[in-house]
Homo-oligomer: A and B are copies of this chain.
């Protein structure tokens, strides 16, 4: 398949495909001459994946590259796979952030295994700080209910990880983490509308 056919098959402009090739998001096609190369199904699949990560999950090009690299590299440990996905959506925390508030929450929720991921803890601390700076104080009881719901979701996540193939497991974990986030947020908004209507009524305008 030529580049124009690849573009037609994926609805991605040729210029954009060339850009992804330059940025090493997409692997090169097989050169058949100095100015011709052939692409195949693997390029179609990869391109759709790239578009989902950039478009749906909102990753940057460089974060997408890291995720794709992670998907290709040997799995090492089943647990560490999460790090690939989480690192892609979490900016690295400086050394001097105070994570004690996050540690206290992790203790309360029994999430001891998460105590080693400083970056995500810092993201939690930053998000809670942004909340309180805005004058919104989240009661502990509310956070506890959130934590219980998120634990349900996380258990559903690991329950559905395929155990037959390490590669399938890796793919599942990374994509399930990244691409499911917008799904969850949209579901929350819809559930809020439903709950709000049942509680307060509404005009539906």
Contacts and interface: CB of A to CB of B under 8 A. Distances in A.
Interface of A: 45, 48-49, 51-53, 55-57, 76-80, 82-83, 86, 89-90, 106, 109-114, 116-117, 120-121, 123-124, 126-131, 133-136, 138-139, 142-143, 145-158, 160, 171-173, 175-177, 179-205
Contact of A79 (B109, B146, B175, B201): B201
A142 B89 CA distance: 22
B156 A146 contact: yes
Nearest to A182: B127
A160 to B, nearest CB: 5
Tell me what chain A mostly uses at the interface: helix, strand, loop, or mixed: helix
A37 to B, nearest CB: 24
Contacts of A198: 113
Contacts of A184: 146, 150, 184-185, 188
Contacts of A90: 189
